Amino acid sequence: MTQNAIPDSVLDLHQSGAPIAAQQAAQQAAPQSTAQAARVDFEVPAKVGKYQLLERIGSGTCGVVYRAYDAILSRDIAIKISQVGTLDQQNGKMPGAQKAFITETLAAGRLSHPNIVTVYDAGIDGPLNYLVMEYVEGVSLKQYGRGKESLSPHRVVSVIAEVCKAIDFSHRKGIVHRDIKPANIMIANDGSVKLLDFGIAISTTADEAAGTGRPALGTPNYVSPEQVSGSELGPRSDIYSLGTVLFEMLTGQQVFKAREVKELFKAILNEPAPLLTSVRTDLPVELEQVVARCLAKSPSKRFSSGAEMAQALGDVLDKMAPPDMLTPEIAGWVPVMSQLKFFSKFSERKVACFASVSKIVRFSAGSTALGKGTIDNHLYVIIEGVASISGYNNLSAVIGPGDCFGEAGFLSGNRCDSDVEVMTDIVALKIKSADVNALPEADQLAHYQMISNSIVQRRNHVEDLMLDLAL
């Protein structure tokens, strides 16, 4: 196997015919599919239906997604647009984008779940289909792994456990997603996790035709063996795909890599998936066992449901010791952090839990750590070093280990109301509000209480200074 990954394009793996023939067809189609995903072949108006389009936020082979505004309900929404397709009179086939629109619209009628993006409306406006969804501010898992920024193992497991709940719900409603991949999993700014895009889903309900006799679609690096072979698909196909995402988020690499699609599909069908601990020796064996079960070639050996997989991941989270939650760099600072006043009422596990969703950042003496007017939704907790932060009436307070700054942006998204000037080299924890919101509720409360105490103490300090000056 080479170390080159196949592009994440959506390919058409026909259920009929020999698997190798399907693989060869997909291989030939790959470069073209990638190009099509980046191009819009139809004119997009300023307004679709009652929705005013604002900015393009995504695209694919089946259409484009815009952030838009619903003036009647005064809210931003996401709207997916595709061309209306008509039945080909020669071969009797419906264009893929039109099938995706119909499929996702039908799925939306069944799927109302906290971990699935809500669909509000659907319709046709002239030559365009449109599907209106909740607008989720955040990032997809595509932003992580594979040489990019990484999430902590604890956070990865927490996120995937939430996706398990989403697919468990969809499976119980008779819908198999078929395209679970990092780009279709969103982490919202409020910490919630959302599964997107049921455009190529199939129904497992016997009396419905959705998916019957249709091509088995998917994204090459995340498809299950049964998608490659053209076998009948069930819920455990989604379990396999979610397992590939879990492996990638934990290791930074995909399960199988190949230069050609044909080679990739042969590996998915025949090669055993690598063990998790062969790439990450610091991860617990219980987590390796979960991943291995997801990636079993035989569907019968995988988890029977999303709920069962979520339970297994929950058990792993409960057993993960603090070092398992942390990068080596952060783990080295935990003994120091445990002595800071910010964490004075925290157990070692709670300190590790907070640190696991944080990053270590450094600021050089003489620099500005955070400028007045800056929009930054991170909180910074100083581990080592000293800074000055402007207060009221241009007075300043000196902050050091155990103090924090950036609260205004972290708590409410407001601009920073002061300059934070670095007096000595600083080492600090940097954390987003969304990541704190993803922690257990009891931990969230404790952390927000400490942040509030820090704000009050600094304000009292500045007010004492003002009183001293007045006297």
Which residue among 70, 168, 179, 435 is the active-site one?
179
Q: Which H/E stretch holds residue 361?
A: strand 359-363
Could you report the per-residue pLDDT of 101-146, keeping only the tens digit for each? Answer: 666 666 666 777 889 988 888 888 888 888 888 888 888 999 887 7
Cα 169 → chain centroid = 19
Beta bridge partners of 51: 48, 70
Q: Is the pLDDT of residue 409 over 60?
A: yes
| Integer Cα distance of 63 and 50 in angstroms | 19
Cα 328 → chain centroid = 23
Residue ranges of domains in the chain: 11-319, 327-470
C-alpha closest to that of 313 among 292, 287, 275: 287
Q: Does residue 127 sit in helix, strand or coil?
A: coil
Q: Is the pLDDT of residue 335 over 70?
A: yes
Task: Provide the 8-state DSSP code for 305.
Answer: S
Task: Provide the 8-state DSSP code for 443.
Answer: H
CATH 2.60.120.10 fits 327-470, yes or no: yes
Tokens 């009183």 sit on residue: 467
pLDDT for 434: 75
pLDDT for 374: 85
| Integer Cα distance of 190 and 350 in angstroms | 20
β-pairing, 11-13 vs 47-48, is unpaired
* Active site annotation includes 179: yes
pLDDT for 448: 66
pLDDT for 32: 35
| Integer Cα distance of 243 and 293 in angstroms | 8
What confidence tier does 311 reach under pLDDT thresholds 50, 70, 90?
A: very high
Report the mean per-residue pLDDT for the chain: 77
Tokens at 27, concatenated: 């291989």
Q: Is the pLDDT of residue 11 over 50?
A: no
Q: Does residue 395 sit in helix, strand or coil?
A: coil
pLDDT for 119: 84
| Integer Cα distance of 302 and 297 in angstroms | 8
Could you report the per-residue pLDDT of 237-290, keeping only the tens digit for each? Answer: 999 999 999 999 999 999 998 888 889 999 999 999 999 989 988 888 999 999
Between 247 and 212, the higher pLDDT residue: 247
Number of other residues whose CB lies within 10 A of the CB of residue 310: 20
| Integer Cα distance of 177 and 197 in angstroms | 8
pLDDT for 441: 63
Phi-psi region of 239 (alpha: psi -120 to 50; beta: other; left: phi over 0): alpha
pLDDT for 427: 94
pLDDT for 101: 67
What confidence tier does 329 reach under pLDDT thresholds 50, 70, 90?
A: confident
Tokens 């009396």 sit on residue: 207
pLDDT for 92: 47
pLDDT for 181: 93
Tokens 């004119």 sit on residue: 43
Phi-psi region of 125 (alpha: psi -120 to 50; beta: other; left: phi over 0): beta
C-alpha closest to that of 151 among 174, 143, 386: 143
pLDDT for 118: 86
Phi/psi of residue 303, each to 5°? -60, 145
What confidence tier does 191 reach under pLDDT thresholds 50, 70, 90?
A: confident
Tokens at 412, concatenated: 């409410």
Output the DSSP codes for 288-353: HHHHHHHT-SSGGGS-SSHHHHHHHHHHHHHH--HHHHS-HHHHHHHHHHTTSGGGTT--HHHHHH
Alpha helices (H) along 346-440? 348-356, 407-412, 433-437
pLDDT for 382: 92
Between 279 and 32, the higher pLDDT residue: 279
Q: Which CATH class is domain 11-319?
A: mainly alpha
Phi/psi of residue 288, each to 5°? -60, -40
Task: Provide the 8-state DSSP code for 218.
Answer: E
Between 38 and 70, the higher pLDDT residue: 70
What confidence tier does 233 reach under pLDDT thresholds 50, 70, 90?
A: confident
Share of the chain above pLDDT 90, in %: 28
| Integer Cα distance of 392 and 430 in angstroms | 25
Could you report the per-residue pLDDT of 360-385, keeping only the tens digit for each? Answer: 999 999 999 998 888 888 889 999 99
Between 471 and 172, the higher pLDDT residue: 172
pLDDT for 154: 81
Q: Is the pLDDT of residue 76 over 60?
A: yes
pLDDT for 2: 36
Q: Which H/E stretch holds residue 55?
A: strand 51-60
Asked which of 5-19, 362-376, 420-434, 451-465 is least confident by mean pLDDT, the reply is 5-19
